Chain A
């Protein structure tokens, strides 16, 4: 598997580590309801199709990126820097 890092270009999977769904970017405020925190921390969709997920290019430039990937075909539909990703 290869991921196109927005900074480094097309790179081998082994340079990256996986965190999970990109929902982790939408951190609720400290006053948010318990349900919102529960959703943020624990609830994840498991789609057959496109999913947005966080990868860390720790073996490369050190960027956190949001990769859109099809869970059925493994096709990678795009990758953007986490700092520029829409939450």
Chain B
């Protein structure tokens, strides 16, 4: 019997590189939405810390541990990235598997901020958006998540079904920025 074959959301679409900016697909591993029940935020954070080494992140931030990350993901929600959630977490929070729901890309390079300024209505300059920031906002017309990674690159997440549009929008913005550079 054949096996089911896994495909990544951006398979065949990435990588891209133009004008010193690169876009590559990230494989984040398991991703689980963690939403604490009423009055359980502190207990959840503690359980996360014990099991995964990262607490429940403050709004608009991400906590990074050894191979595990807890990125704030909206009102009373965080995304546990890189580890299958410990069973104890379910005592305090609703858990929803999101490991297949998102196209996850990394935008890096000198002009990355200029490219993203064409798509994202939020101040992403270093001073306003240093490593550790993780927000929900719009990327073009798409609801998404934007995170500054420890190495300074930016991680974008949009719904898996919109991977093609994300790549299209990035490609266009990169083309324009690159053309300016050579003007």
Residues A59 and B75 in contact, CB atoms below 8 Å apart: no
Nearest chain-B residue to A13 (Cβ)? B121
A14 and B121 in contact, given A9-B60, A58-B143 (Cβ under 8 angstroms): yes
A15 proximal to B (CB < 8 A): yes
Residues A8 and B59 in contact, CB atoms below 8 Å apart: yes
Q: Pick the residue among A7, A15, A58, A63 that contacts B121 (CB under 8 A).
A: A15
Contact flags A1-41 to B (C-beta < 8 A → 1, else 0): 00000011101101100000000000000000000000000
Residues A11 and B59 in contact, CB atoms below 8 Å apart: no
- Distance between Cα atoms of A84 and B51 in the complex (Å): 32
B137 proximal to A (CB < 8 A): yes
Give every chain B residue within 8 A of A14 (Cβ-Cβ).
121, 138
Q: How many residues of B contact A (CB 8 A)?
A: 12
Closest CB-CB distance, A54 to chain B, in whole Å? 15
- Distance between Cα atoms of A51 and B121 in the complex (Å): 26
A60 and B136 in contact, given A7-B59, A9-B60 (Cβ under 8 angstroms): yes
Chain A interface, >50% SS class = loop
Residues B74 and A59 in contact, CB atoms below 8 Å apart: no
Nearest chain-A residue to B139 (Cβ)? A59
Residues A12 and B121 in contact, CB atoms below 8 Å apart: yes
Closest CB-CB distance, A58 to chain B, in whole Å? 7
Give every chain A residue within 8 A of B80 (Cβ-Cβ).
none
Closest CB-CB distance, B106 to chain A, in whole Å? 22
- In chain A between 46 and 63, which residues have their CB closer than 8 angstroms to a CB of chain B? 57-63
Residues B122 and A11 in contact, CB atoms below 8 Å apart: yes
Contact flags A53-87 to B (C-beta < 8 A → 1, else 0): 00001111111000000000000000001000000
Contact flags B48-74 to A (C-beta < 8 A → 1, else 0): 000000000001100000000000001
Give every chain B residue within 8 A of A81 (Cβ-Cβ).
75
Chain B residues within 8 Å of A, Cβ to Cβ: 59-60, 74-75, 77, 121-122, 135-138, 143
Q: Which 10 A-B pairs have the closest CB atoms?
A: A12-B121, A63-B75, A59-B138, A61-B74, A61-B75, A62-B74, A60-B136, A62-B75, A7-B59, A61-B136
